[in-house]
Amino acid sequence: MASDASPSPARRTAGASLLLVAALALLADQVSKHWVQDHFRFSDEFASPQIVVPDWVSLTYIKNKGAAFGILPNETLLFVLIALVVVGVIVAYFRFLPANRPWLKLSLGLQLGGALGNLIDRLRQGYVVDFVSIKTLPIFNVADSCIVGGVLILAYYLLVAQGSTPMRAPTPAATPPAREQSIVDSR
């Protein structure tokens, strides 16, 4: 007798929602990077900043050949391999994700979309386009924001939300059967 290997409707919906979040994150990242590259004059290592909120937020186009904070510059192959591993882990982990965990799907979708966005940059250009500059933070992009946001949601879920779920009463199958009292026991 052959078993039905097709996923349940809940699993298909969960997969679709994860892919939708990842696709939206990837689209927002790539569109914003293309806009920055089309609208900023680039000279030497970075473009002159465009002030958004004085002394707080600006758009500053840079070519980041390293990781976060520009560490390990010119290690494109290493970062491509790391991104491929991250994408693989997210896709593999999804198979074991309960279908009724929307925060986990959102978290993994954001991380997947962000990882793919920066991976595309590295493969296509050899660097990642960064452009958002907020006061003392390093310059970042939409993909970085998605990754960080996804990790924060995941951390919150694992540390707070999951731990606060009330204990469930044991199911009837898990409780031992009640003993019948006999007349002898009642003496």
Residue 126 backbone zone (phi > 0: left; psi -120 to 50: alpha; other: beta): left
Instruction: Name the pTM for this structure.
Output: 0.73
Highest mean pLDDT among 36-40, 56-60, 99-103, 181-185: 56-60
Average pLDDT in the chain: 78
What's the confidence (pLDDT) of residue 169? 46
Q: Is the pLDDT of residue 186 over 60?
A: no
More confidently predicted of 59 and 69: 59
Count of CB atoms situated within 10 Å of the CB of 1? 2
Res. 31 pLDDT band, cuts 50 70 90:
very high
- pLDDT confidence bin for 147, thresholds 50/70/90: very high
Q: Which residues participate in catalysis according to the annotation?
A: 130, 144
- How does DSSP classify residue 58? E
- pLDDT at 126 > cutoff 80: yes
